[in-house]
Amino acid sequence: MNITPLPQGGVEVTERADFPVNRGALCGKGRTAAEVLSPAVRLTTPLVREGGRLVPADWPEALDRIAGRLAATRERYGPDALGVFGGGGLTNEKAYALGKFARVVLGTSQIDYNGRFCMSSAAAAGTKAFGLDRGLPFPLEDIPRTGCVILVGSNLAETMPPSLRFFTELRENGGTLIVVDPRRTRTADQADLHLAPRPGTDLALALGLLHLVVAEGRTDEEYIRERTTGWEEARAAAMAHWPEYVERITGVPVPRLREAVRMFCEPEAAMVLTARGPEQQSKGTDTVGAWINLCLATGRAGRPLSGYGCLTGQGNGQGGREHGQKADQLPGYRKLDDPAARRHVAGVWGVDPDSLPGPGRSAYELLDALGTDVRTLLLMGSNPVVSAPRAAHVEKRLRSLDFLAVADVVLSETAELADVVLPVTQWAEETGTTTSLEGRVLLRRRAVAPPAGVRSDLYVLHELAGRLGVEKGFSTDPEEVFAELRRASAGGPADYSGITYRRLAEENGVFWPCPEEPAGTPGADGGDAPRVPPSEGRAHAGAADASDTSDPVRHPGTPRLFLDRFATPDGRARFVAVAHRATAEEPDAEYPLLLTTGRVVSQYQSGAQTRRVAELNAAAPGPFVELHPRLAARLGAADGDPLAVVSRRGRAVAPARITDTIRPDTVFMPFHWPGEGRANTLTNPALDPTSRMPEFKSCAVRVERVEVVPRS
């Protein structure tokens, strides 16, 4: 989008038609985003808690309080009593600086971020299979040109509306779309085939489809032999999931399973794309792995117009996890427990590698430890009071902290609990980079000045670092921070070293991996240089042969991964043998139904910002409980009646929305609201053993009518 300041005040948001990701299309949230820039709805001065109330303060006082409490906690309890919680909406520069601040200034291992709740299962499965995780290993523009897409657990029409055009074009070009979702969503309405499995059974569904691929002789044996390992074990696991067995588990009829296999296998090229549906499960890594196995068995990965990809859900969901705010990672998507990675990053930071702490707790585990092992928390750009699973418990843990500091744009429900709140800049008020779901690094320029009392997150970290004795290494200039990020990422899986602000300003983004050119070659400084076609056959970070000085041009970036080899030591993709298992919490006599959660088109994530936009609130004013007419009839409930949804963790109340687009054994609630309609009061924090993703998408509940007492 383009942002233009208006003479009478405020700004105008307009489409940018030449931008390749959305081609200028904006959803309602993007079109109205400028409303949150208004001082009337956002924070404009620091707040400190006095006598139980948050009152205005100046910046020195607020920063002194935070630094003093961080230092006192570390002195009394040790560095791991300090926690840091980040957000998937932070720019790459801010995510990088936050991770460095936690490890270099505070010396704590206790840092993670809300992106753990987004696509960590897909990241873990992709790394296992391919040796590298990037949301999409190909550009969005490839989708309309493939033959078939299986879209698993994504309602793009409401969560990413501009991207729906790629799927519309797919069908216009003669391709087919299969949507897997327990609900017949707006996206499922666009599909050629809709499969509606019981929540939590996507793993069995993928295994059943692979069984049919094998039984019907649709495997690509040459591809399996030449480009993969582990097939025998994965095939044996899939053959234990015959169609009738899968139908009993999922509720998807066998003829629809067979039709899905036919539609997926007949074209020359096809894709599987997953989102939160299969990923936000206590077996999400295995579930995504099963869908990847389907791609590998049919030769649909690492080939033109084919592959597996994951659709991210936050503003910088991809870049936010690449540069160090995740508990187990260092910049460049390096592993924190890798000695070589520690040496490289420590060298950039000018510290002893042994001084860097090891991996810490994952997001929910960190939140669960608040007030006990973790006594003081610095939180940036997240609202776990609304967004975390078992949210009432998380709220209680936040209240039990010795000290909570929050940096945010608005006074979110989490910020309301803080001892100090810092008002920070937002998207139009700061320069920085983000990384799209395709791995395309983008430059976002500052368009307007922030209100006088607002500072950037980089300023916050710079000032806190200085107060805690680290005078250098925390610049407030985002371009300087990005230059350091480039050096820290060099040679890592997510190598940004060949990307500069100047280059991003000239181009519509650059795809990582993009290594820096050898010293002395044209273009190595980000200046003008001849162009070459993208090295699309290169496998992964470092594979674009930046050591080849015979080609004196800047590296073009890597739009398409894995075309020649995968990012594994032997270049082969890994099948991972998986088997269906039940969700962590199955229905029983007391809780006979399944709850699944998600988003609506006019609100975003925890709603902290979108709930402050009048137009969006008019379209989606509050939570609701979506249920099937048969269930409503059993309850004696009519549309709009208040219903209580009860799980083992709590109770939420919202109006009924009766529709035949949902399974009779399932209820749905959006998770954007706090208060009595908070869906995440109910959700289960059971964690995937690999990704540590909570099971947002399935938990056992019962539904009760709420008697309304008439006013006298």
Asked whether residue 211 falls in the same domain as residue 284, the answer is yes
- Flag whether 19 is in a domain: no
pTM for this entry: 0.92
First to last CA, the chain: 53
pLDDT in tens, 580-619: 999 999 999 999 999 999 999 888 888 888 898 899 999 9
Contacts of 486 by beta carbon, 8 Å cutoff, 6+ apart: 496, 497, 498, 499, 500, 516
Write out pLDDT tens, residues 40-98.
999 999 999 999 999 999 999 999 999 999 999 999 999 999 999 999 999 999 999 99
What's residue 9's pLDDT? 63
Residues 98 and 84 in one domain: yes
Mean pLDDT taken over the chain: 92
Is 475 within the bounds of a domain? Answer: yes
Q: Read out DSSP for 514-545?
A: -PPPPTTSTTTTS---------TT--STTTT-
pLDDT for position 11: 73
4-7 contacts, C-beta under 8 A, 24 or more apart: 4/447, 5/447, 5/448
Q: Are residues 333 and 344 in the same domain?
A: yes
CB 364 within 8 Å of CB 694: yes
What's the mean pLDDT in 96-107?
98
Instruction: Write the burial class of residue 553 (CB in 10 Å: 0-12 exposed, 13-18 middle, 19+ buried).
Output: middle
> What is the token pair recorded at 243?
């169609």
Q: Looking at 485, 519, 546, which one is the last position of a domain?
A: 485
pLDDT of 4 > 60? The answer is yes
Overall number of domains in the chain: 3
Q: Is the pLDDT score of 494 beyond 70?
A: yes
Q: How confident is the model at residue 3 (pLDDT cuts 50, 70, 90)?
A: low
The CA distance from 156 to 429, in Å, is 28
Which of residues 310, 339, 358 is at a domain's end? Answer: 310
Q: Are residues 158 and 246 in the same domain?
A: yes
Is residue 270 domain-shared with residue 367, that is, in the same domain? no
Q: What integer pLDDT is reported at residue 712 of this predicted model?
A: 60
| 667-684 mean pLDDT | 97
The Cα 316–Cα 334 span in angstroms is 18
Any idea what the CATH number is for the domain that residue 676 is in? 2.40.40.20
Lowest mean pLDDT: which of 266-280, 315-329, 347-361?
315-329
Q: Is residue 583 part of a domain?
A: no
Same-domain pairing of 165 and 286: yes
Contact 501, 479 (CB under 8 A): yes
Per-residue pLDDT band for 376 (boundaries 50, 70, 90) equals very high
| Other residues' Cβ atoms within 10 Å of the Cβ of residue 671 | 25
What pLDDT is recorded for position 540? 38
Q: Which domain holds residue 198?
A: 120-310
Contact at 8 Å (CB) between 693 and 623? no
Q: Rounded to an integer, what distance in angstroms lies between the CA atom of residue 150 and that of residue 192?
A: 10
Report the SS3 class of residue 354: helix
* CATH number (domain holding residue 290): 3.40.228.10
| Statement to judge: residues 283 and 299 lie in one domain | yes
Residues 362 and 393 in one domain: yes
